[in-house]
Amino acid sequence: MQTFIASVFVFGILIFFHELGHFMVAKAVGIHVHEFSMGFGPRLWGFKRGDTVYNLRAFPLGGFVRMAGMDPNEDEEEPDYDEERGFNSKTVGQRAGVIAAGPIMNFVLAAVILALIFMTHGLPVPTTDVGMVLKDSPAYHAGIKEGDRITSINGVPVEKWTELNKLVNSNAGKPIQITVERGGVEKKIEVTPRLSKEGRYIIGIQNNPEKYVMEKMNPLTALWKGAEATVQVTVLIITFVGKMIVQQAPMDIGGPVRVVAEIGQAAEKGVYQVLQLAAFLSINLGLFNLFPIPALDGSRLVFLAWEKIVGKPIDPAKEGFIHMIGFGLLLLMIVFITYNDIISLIAPGK
């Protein structure tokens, strides 16, 4: 039950904010939106506000925003909207904005989730516990040992590794007096930092990754760090996908079954682990939707770019057929990935 609730929550916010991105920009540029729905299948509950119907449907496996003019089979003889409010009546730039807004909202959501984590739970910050002393380094020759905890430098108290690095580097190679705590006893050691290849002054120690404190951030710093982390994860994913394509990294693609399993494991560890996974999945969803694969937002953007270049749109029927083929291939891929996910869960390592 815990896994089910966590999965519905994670999938729900990812889909809701993705579709909300499409919806908000569509409304902003004056497109008539017939329906905003969460889920597929039979309608469970809903209401109408303005000219849009908001529905909750039976199967929580997706969602959609149905905009006027997007479906070539839509009845145009007696439309229930002004033609000027149809999707295809808008400029290429406006339509591209509507399409791109969904994936972009997923990146925004990831940054906001990470910011909330940084504000309320904090970011792990290494303490001044020494995890490793590099051989033949200034610290090694001065007698600093693994397990020591540095409490001050030149009489200035330090608690975080960043503070330690800043004080060491600021002394520009001059001898410094380091106070370490070893076995409950404080000891003063003089060390002369040396210039590294990166142009920083160091003493040759590394922090203990198992020793850290959670540092909470103010809202502005948290938002900045959340956006920064989102960009970093996006770059890492793109890099990994590129390596998979050129066979420099193993194929490691997970489907819904694997995602649910990961959510279940995160739920056992706590709410912050679920939120962190939700941010990561949101980045993946946004990035995946930007790939130029038929039926995804990325392919629609390609068609719009082509329209901008040649000055006229592709035949809606042909574009619809391409998207239909792409959707079928995506379904086959999902079935294949789901099968592999189930096999790996039943017989891990095979």
Q: What is the pLDDT of residues 273-299, one digit of tens each?
A: 889 989 999 998 899 889 888 878 888
Q: What is the pLDDT of residues 25-59, one digit of tens each?
A: 999 999 999 999 998 888 889 899 988 999 998 88
2-11, 143-152, 314-323: least confident range: 314-323
| Higher-pLDDT residue of 348, 306 | 306
Given a cut of 90, is residue 232 above it in pLDDT?
yes
Give domain limits for the chain. Answer: 103-122+218-346, 125-215
pLDDT at 77: 46
Structure pTM?
Answer: 0.79
**19 among known catalytic residues:** yes
User: How far apart are alpha carbons 303 and 319 in whole angstroms?
Assistant: 8
Residue 151 burial (CB count, 10 A): 14
Place of tokens 């609730």: 5
Q: Pick from 126, 192, 216, 209: which is nearest to 163 by CA?
A: 126
Look over the chain and give the mean of its residue pLDDT values, rounded to a whole number.
84
Bridge partners, 127 (sequence order) = 160
Q: What is the pLDDT of residues 302-343, one digit of tens each?
A: 889 988 888 888 777 777 777 778 777 777 766 666 666 566
| Higher-pLDDT residue of 210, 115 | 115
Structure tokens at 234: 């996006």
Contact residues for 268 (Cβ-Cβ < 8 A; gap 6+): 2
Contact residues for 306 (Cβ-Cβ < 8 A; gap 6+): 314
Q: What CATH number is given for 125-215 in this structure? A: 2.30.42.10
Q: Pick from 252, 272, 277: which is nearest to 7 by CA?
A: 277
pLDDT at 334: 67
User: How far apart are alpha carbons 65 and 33 in whole angstroms?
Assistant: 7
